[in-house]
Amino acid sequence: MRFHFEGTGTHVTQRLASGESPARPFHYRTTPSGRTALQCGTRSLTALATEFATPLYVYSGDQILDRFRLFQRALVDRDHLICYAVKANSALAILQLLAAEGAGFDIVSGGELERVRAAAPEALDRVVFSGTGKTADEIDLGLEAGILAFHVESEAELALLAARASRLRRKARFSLRVNPDVFAETHPYISTGMSEHKFGIPIAQARRIYRSARHHRWLAPHGVSVHIGSQIRSADPFGAAMRRVVRLVRSLRTDGIDLRCVDAGGGLGIDYEHASAFDPAATAQSYLKAITQALDDLPARLVLEPGRFLVAQAGVLVARVLFVKKNGRRTFVITDAGMNDLIRPALYDAWHEILPVQPRAGRALVVDVVGPVCESGDFFARNRRLPPVQPGDLVAILDAGAYGLAQSSNYNSRPRPAEVLVRGREARLIRRRETMADLLAPEIPLSSSDQKTINKRK
């Protein structure tokens, strides 16, 4: 079956084979009034923007579950656990969806642990705790919650884990996060698997550290973990990293240390720029084949930590055009969404396809799509060919389901957007739009007496 998504100046064809999820759940349909409009499943983005205002994040829950099930089906014959990377999108409703499917969770902070507790307390024993700088309080939270394992990134962290476990008299299962010194072609800000990076323990030192910890009363060597980066498009680096991990696990077994799981981390990327050529099922299959072939017959549970691959293409940021402005030779489409709502283009020079929600007839123009934030770096696209838009029109910034709201801020004292989750024919508000009262609530202004005291000191 083929879907043809089309609008003026934009033609995207998606292939949907049996059992696959399409690369994107957003498509154009003709409305009863005869206008072509972009939809999420059966729900009109125009109607959602009218009901919930803009800027607005819209997610397809059906797409998220489809992506998750790609992994579940492919690994049905192997002991495994899919731990969703909470940092990609930590909306409680999304955590609930995935927990109900049997997902575990990869967290990197005590705050993310509390999100899992709020969304799905029954899944706490399916949590792995990653991150280079865990505090004593965060470790205590994890121990008291009975999480599956801590991913330890340094000898100093292992010593702190041992001390906290001893104090609480709770066994701490741990996996060393090893750094395999494997190069993965991705943005340098999200590459983590080389010896020059802050993450993990050099794999050559891991055997000694496991040996030193195996007889500690409150430490339990559980597995080994590796994560080489994010937005990786080739399966080869994953296979190379896993082969090195397998050699380590086999050597540890000769020492009498029988690790129960191998955590291959996350990092599987999507194609932001050429979604029409992106086949999620084939991508997942290639990735899993590289990992499982490297594992060979190793009797260990496989843990994976996908984030972006599950949620990125399930989300859009809907914005309204405020002005169309010419400065010399450049044309600027100024929207009500800004870099505080979606920072990826400003931070990584990341590409996001942008579509008009209701395309107009006319010739596409080369424009810069920018926001209202008082920074020259506040842009979503530069020198981008875009179908004509006018003030009041809606545009959809695609593939914004990962690291969108999760990296947002209140810069320029801008309240963050609302979030809506679409499943089937239902659309639910899962996060209300922030208000100025929300922004001001934590602040403590000076009292009149404080001001008088300060003025006297002058």
User: What are the residue numbers of the active site?
Assistant: 374
Judged by DSSP in three states, 415 sits in coil
Q: Rounded to the nearest 5 degrees, what angle is found at the Cα of 100, between the Cα atoms of 98 and 106?
A: 40
Q: Rounded to the nearest 5 degrees, what angle is found at the Cα of 182, between the Cα atoms of 176 and 187?
A: 105
Q: Is 398 within 8 Å of 364 (Cβ atoms)?
A: no
Closest residue by Cα to residue 266 from 445, 403, 124:
403
Q: Is 420 within 8 Å of 427 (Cβ atoms)?
A: yes
Write the DSSP string, 63-108. Answer: HHHHHHHHHHHHTTTS-EEEEEEGGG---HHHHHHHHHTT-EEEES
The phi and psi torsions of 271 (rounded to 5 degrees) equal -105, 100
The β-bridge relationship of strands 315-327 and 394-397 is: antiparallel
Q: Is 128 within 8 Å of 263 (Cβ atoms)?
A: yes
Number of other CB atoms surrounding residue 348 within 10 Å? 15
453: which 2 tokens? 């005291």
- Cis peptide bond N-terminal to 55, omega within 30: yes
The phi and psi torsions of 215 (rounded to 5 degrees) equal -100, 5
